[in-house]
Amino acid sequence: MQAGRLEPGPVFLQQLALLPDRLPAHGSADYVHLLVEGGKLAMADREAWYGDAADVPLDALLSGPYNAGRRALVGDTASRELRPGSPGGRTPRLSAHAHALAVAARSRSRSRSRSGSGQGPGAAGEPYAPGAGEPTVATDGSTRGDTCHIDVVDRWGNMVAATPSGGWLQSNPVVPELGFPLGTRLQMAWLDPGLPNTLTPGRRPRTTLSPSLALRDGVPVMAFGTPGGDHQDQWQLHFFLAVTHGGLDLQEAVDAPNWHHDAFPGSFHPRGMRPGSLTVESRTDPAVIAALRRRGHDVTVAGPWSEGRLCAVARDPRTGILSAAADPRGAQGYAVGR
């Protein structure tokens, strides 16, 4: 399937724009490395340029020349730096917290280069707390949950992708002077003045939500998405390329071993960063895991069905055939047709 147009979040689009014309074999170590390193660059640009409180140079950020220059930064080994770009010659500016994380990451990277030693998945600046981000639900339903995703298509080809999500108490910092936590998504804004994501009256904080539609020749052909906080655009990129590049059907693409990295300032308290981190499912080919480690990625092997909560629907405009897929991860996804 060749998608002519996409309507997701800009970080997803920028990850696609950073890809070369020819991709390595789907699922190979070269392939995962390329996607992870491009994702780091897109997330660094998110930190410097994306938000609702300032003009976002979106055309420049998604342009061919800009991303060709950014693509040249992807080397053979894992980067441990936060490297926002300069679209249109603009100077990137980070929040004080993100800047501190970037400096710490750069220092750790230089120390690692001097020593030649490995480093486990550690934090730069404030510690990264697994599970402190967007809530999830265990397979037995015993843990907390919040965000969900739904895709719908009808026989006429009308499609909708939605990622409903609200505020929650368990991972939201309480304002000490007031005694209550921040409202929906407000914890994602910065208090530093003049940033695209600065807390500003009448403006919305930047969010991680990224429901997506793919169109071919202007006709909607697929709707897809997932809960997952900062992992949404990463999991969706893997899924989308599994369909368009890997030749998998919807369910095969959802089921394919997935991954994520946390090599950027997180959107959730304590807003940590894990330079060089890469978490993969245990179903990933051991040879691929070994090759990624040789490239300098700090690989954590997680459970076999731990990365993603994807679902998708599609319609072939030539035949009218509808299809759908749901994620077995979490045992909460359903694909239903009538």
- Tens digits of residue pLDDT in 39-87: 999 999 999 999 999 999 999 999 999 999 999 999 999 999 999 999 9
Sign of the C-alpha dihedral computed for residues 96, 98, 103 and 108 taken in this order? positive
Q: Residues 77, 136, 139, 147: which is the catalytic one? A: 147
CA separation for the pair 99, 327 (Å, rounded): 37
- Who contacts 113 (Cβ-Cβ below 8 Å, separation ≥6)? none
CA separation for the pair 272, 130 (Å, rounded): 10
Structure tokens at 309: 């909560």
CA distances to 129, 296, 329 from 309, rounded to whole Å, are 20, 28, 6
pLDDT at 116: 57
> Is 226 an active-site residue?
no
- Who contacts 89 (Cβ-Cβ below 8 Å, separation ≥6)? none
The model carries a pTM of 0.89
| Short-list 244, 269, 241, CA closest to 39 | 241
Write down the residue that tokens 């040879």 correspond to: 287
pLDDT at 164: 87
pLDDT at 234: 96
pLDDT band at 144 (very low <50, low <70, confident <90, very high): low
CATH superfamily of 5-331: Gamma-glutamyltranspeptidase, small (S) subunit (3.60.20.40)
Lowest mean pLDDT among 27-41, 119-133, 134-148, 158-172: 119-133
Mark 114-149 as b/e (b = at least 16 C-beta within 10 Å).
Answer: eeeeebebebbbbebeeebbbbbbeeeeeeeebbbb
User: 238 with 259: CB under 8 angstroms?
Assistant: yes
Strands (E), 74-198: 150-153, 159-162, 174-175, 180-181
CA separation for the pair 318, 267 (Å, rounded): 41
Domain residue extents for the chain: 5-331
CA separation for the pair 209, 123 (Å, rounded): 24
Instruction: Find the mean pLDDT for residues 238-260.
Output: 97
